[in-house]
Amino acid sequence: MAPQIRSAIVSIATLFLINQSHAQTGAGCSKQTPCPGRGEVRVDAQFDSFGVYAGGCYCSVPVYNPVPTTASPTLAGPPSMPTYYRPPTTKAPHPTFAPRPVANPNAPTQTGQGPPVDPILPGLELLPSKQLAKVPTVAGGPSAGHPATAFCEFTGDCGCPRNTKGSCTITCGGIDGCKDSIINCNNDGYPCTVQCQGEQACISSSIIGPVKAALTVNCIGDTSCEGSMAVFGEASTDVSVTCNGLTSCKGTMINFGTRTNSVACNGEPDSCDALLVNLQHNAHVTPGNSFKCTGLFCPATLPANFNNVNGPQGAVCITEGNCGCDTGTGSTSCDVTCDGGLKACSSGTITCNPNHDCVVNCLAGNSCENSVIQGPMNGKLTVNCIGAKSCGGSTVFDGTLGTDMIIKCDGREACKGSVSYKFGSGIGELACIGTPDSCGGGTTFQIPTGPNAAFSCIGSNCPSNVPGNFNNRAAFTPLF
Residues 108-162: tens digit of each pLDDT: 444 444 444 333 333 333 323 323 333 333 333 333 457 889 999 887 889 999 8
- How far does Cα 115 stand from its chain's mean position? 29
pLDDT the model gives residue 395: 96
**Splitting the chain (480 residues) into consecutive groups of 10 residues, what average pLDDT does each group show?**
50 43 66 64 65 61 40 38 38 41 52 40 30 31 63 87 89 86 92 89 93 91 88 94 90 93 88 92 88 88 85 77 67 77 85 88 90 93 92 95 94 93 94 87 89 91 91 68
Q: What does the alpha-carbon distance between residue 296 and residue 86 come to, in Å, rounded to a whole number?
A: 22
Q: What does the alpha-carbon distance between residue 39 and residue 59 come to, in Å, rounded to a whole number?
A: 10
pLDDT the model gives residue 111: 45
Kind and range of the H or E element at 6? helix 3-21
pLDDT the model gives residue 235: 94
- Going by the DSSP 8-state scheme, the letter that residue 369 receives in this structure is T
Q: What does the alpha-carbon distance between residue 321 and residue 371 come to, in Å, rounded to a whole number?
A: 8
pLDDT the model gives residue 166: 86
Q: What does the alpha-carbon distance between residue 229 and residue 252 come to, in Å, rounded to a whole number?
A: 5
Q: How distant, in Å, are the alpha carbons of 134, 208, 230 from that of 241? A: 10, 13, 11
Among positive and negative, which fits the CA dihedral 27, 85, 306, 50? positive
pLDDT the model gives residue 153: 84
Let me know: does 241 contact 220? Beta carbons within 8 Å: no
What SS3 class is residue 100?
A: coil
Let me know: does 307 contact 284? Beta carbons within 8 Å: no
Residues 52-108: tens digit of each pLDDT: 555 667 665 554 333 333 343 443 333 333 334 444 333 323 334 445 566 555 544
- How far does Cα 137 stand from its chain's mean position? 18
Q: How distant, in Å, are the alpha carbons of 55, 375, 396 from that of 350? A: 18, 8, 10
- Bridge partners of 351, per DSSP, are 324
What SS3 class is residue 256?
A: coil
In the chain, what is the greatest distance between 2 CA atoms, to the nearest angstrom? 89
* pTM score, whole prediction: 0.53
Q: Is 4 exposed, middle or buried, given 0-12, 13-18 or 19+ CB atoms closer than 10 A?
A: exposed
- What's the angle, vertex CA 60, arms to CA 276 and CA 82, rounded to 5? 40
pLDDT the model gives residue 321: 84
From the CB of residue 95, how many other CB atoms can be counted at a distance below 10 Å? 12
